[in-house]
Amino acid sequence: MKMIVVFEKAPRLRHIGHLDLMRAMQRALRRSGLPLRYSQGFNPHILLNFAAPLSVGMPGKREIMEVPIEGEMSGEAFMEQLSKALPPDLPCLSARPVEDAHPAPMALLTAALYEARFDTAPPDLEKTVRDYLLQPEIPAIRKTKSGEKPCDLKPMIHLLRCEGDALIMALALSEKATCKPDLLLSSLFDFAKCERPRALVTRLQLLGEKDGVLSPLESL
């Protein structure tokens, strides 16, 4: 079977890159004494899949990884054992056992929920957001490995609203279409014709679709 594990990458660790985080998780899993599964081959490593890498500099409230294990065990037991092996800034929040045949989290992922918290909130942010979303199309330039591509952000924005001094965004995140929060913020403040204020962006939740509705990925 395999475990769908939800964990937090606390703000203190936001500069830890994805490869470093994977190594840290592998070591934590080794410390935990859990019945892990290893890859075949000359240099066997622990089987472990992350739903989506976090950008360097971004904390994650509810990150998801999939850990294949030998035999059966409850999510609670898994979580208890793993928690003892994790550093304080990388706590395990939940674990749910699923069958091996269950689709990988990465395959179910369609979007993510973000919060952008500004050092100083820009004036009229609510109005800016409202006007921004009234555009029939939101053209932007997406930087990819193969160069710069023009795209329309509008269908990739599932949600965009102000909450106090923060901006809450649900943006597409999948193999087919991805809008990074960075791109959206640049586009928004270009539209408002003002300088982009410094913000700490946190990924709050990974999302997938269930009956046409965006739902927490770990529940799918």
Partner 1 sequence: MNETEIAKLERLLEKVQRPARYTGGEMNAVRKDWKQVKCTFGFCFADTYEIGMSHLGMKILYYLINQRQDALCERVFMPDADMADLMRLEGVPLFSLESRAALNHFDIVGFTLQYEMSYTNILEMLDLGRIPLFGKDRGESDPIVVAGGPCAFNPEPLAPFIDAFMIGDGEDVMHELIDVIRDGRAQGLPRLDILRNLARLEGVYVPALYTVEYNKDGTLRSFSPNDPAAPAVVRKRVVKDLSAAVYPESIPVPYTEIVHDRMVLEIMRGCTRGCRFCQAGMLYRPVRERSMQRLLYLADQLQQSTGYEEMSLSSLSAGDYTCLPQLITALMARYMDKRVGVSLPSMRIDNIVKDSLIASQQVKKSGLTIAPEAGTQRLRDVINKGVTEEDLKRSVTDAFECGWSSVKLYFMMGLPTETDEDLAGIGHLAKTVVDCYYALPKEKRSKNGVKVTVSASVFVPKPFTPFQWAAQDPIPLVHEKQEKLRQYLKLKNVHFNWHESELSMLEACVSRGDRRIGEVIYRAWKRGCRLDSWYEHFQFDQWMAAFQDCHLDPAFYAHRERPYDELLPWQFVDAGVSMAYLRRENEKALRTETTRDCRHGCNGCGLQGWGVCSFVENPPLKDQPERSALLAD
Residue 44 within binding range of partner 1, rule CB under 8 A: yes
Pairing of the two strands 60-68 and 49-50: antiparallel
Among residues 38 and 103, whose Cβ is nearest to partner 1?
38
Residue 26 within binding range of partner 1, rule CB under 8 A: yes
Spatial separation of the C-alpha atoms in residues 121 and 118, rounded to whole Å: 5
**The two structure tokens encoding residue 43:** 């240099």
Helix (H, G, I), strand (E, B) or coil at 91: coil
- Burial label for 96, CB within 10 Å (0-12, 13-18, 19+), is middle
Of 71-79, 87-95, 128-136, 171-179, the segment contacting partner 1 by CB under 8 A is 87-95
Among residues 46 and 151, whose Cβ is nearest to partner 1?
46
Among 40, 71, 72, 88, binds partner 1 (CB under 8 A): 88
Enumerate the H helices of 35-160 as residue ranges: 75-83, 105-108, 125-134
Residue with tokens 């069958």: 99
Among residues 22 and 177, whose Cβ is nearest to partner 1?
22
Residue 70 within binding range of partner 1, rule CB under 8 A: no
Residue 28 within binding range of partner 1, rule CB under 8 A: yes
123 to 162: interface string for partner 1, x by CB under 8 A: ----------------------------------------
Spatial separation of the C-alpha atoms in residues 106 and 53, rounded to whole Å: 10
Residue 86 within binding range of partner 1, rule CB under 8 A: yes
State in angstroms the smallest separation of the CB of 33 from partner 1: 8
Query: What letters, b where the CB count within 10 A reaches 16 and e where it falls short, cover 20-35?
Result: ebbebbeebbeebebe
Among residues 46 and 133, whose Cβ is nearest to partner 1?
46
Residue 172 within binding range of partner 1, rule CB under 8 A: no
Phi, psi for 19 (deg, rounded to 5): -65, -40
Residue 73 within binding range of partner 1, rule CB under 8 A: no
Residue 210 within binding range of partner 1, rule CB under 8 A: no
State in angstroms the smallest separation of the CB of 95 from partner 1: 18
Residue 84 within binding range of partner 1, rule CB under 8 A: no
**The two structure tokens encoding residue 197:** 């204020």
C-alpha pair distances (Å), 165 with each of 108, 122, 125, 160, 178: 31, 8, 9, 13, 25
* Chain residues that interact with partner 1, rule: CB under 8 A: 10, 12-13, 15-17, 20-21, 23-24, 26-31, 33, 38, 44, 57, 85-89, 198
